[in-house]
Copies of this chain bind each other. A is one copy, B any other.
Amino acid sequence: MALNIKPLGDRVLIEPVEEKEVKKGGIIIPDTAKEKPQEGIVRALGTGKLDENGKRIPFEVKVGDRVLVSKYGGTEIKVDDKEYKLMSSDDLLAILE
């Protein structure tokens, strides 16, 4: 089922991955980490940040990418009983390939 949410500006829509799944995937985030990251899947992209000349800067991620995101960034929403996060692309830390 297609998602009916189009992020605005530099925002992306992230579907968090359950921690149990994360552990199987090889990346373990220690509980003691000062700034905890979180794993997720990119589900939708906004239109991107504007550079100084008014051109859109393309996102470094694409829909479907598995990413590490800043745990405390973004805004939580629930669509059809699933939780998502709307967050700035600056809060995406890395792609998991």
**Residues of A at under 8 Å CB distance from B?**
4-9, 11, 13, 26-30, 32-37, 46-47, 50-55, 57, 60-61, 67-68, 70, 72, 74-81, 83, 86, 89-90, 92-97
Number of copies: 7
Please name 12 pairs of A and B residues whose Cβ atoms are closer than 8 Å in the assembled complex, sorted by A.
Answer: A4-B26, A5-B68, A5-B94, A6-B95, A11-B94, A13-B94, A28-B78, A28-B81, A33-B75, A33-B77, A37-B86, A47-B60
Q: Which residues of B contact A86 (CB under 8 A)?
A: 37, 68, 93-94
Q: Which residues of B contact A76 (CB under 8 A)?
A: 29-30, 32-35
A54 touches B57 (CB 8 A): yes
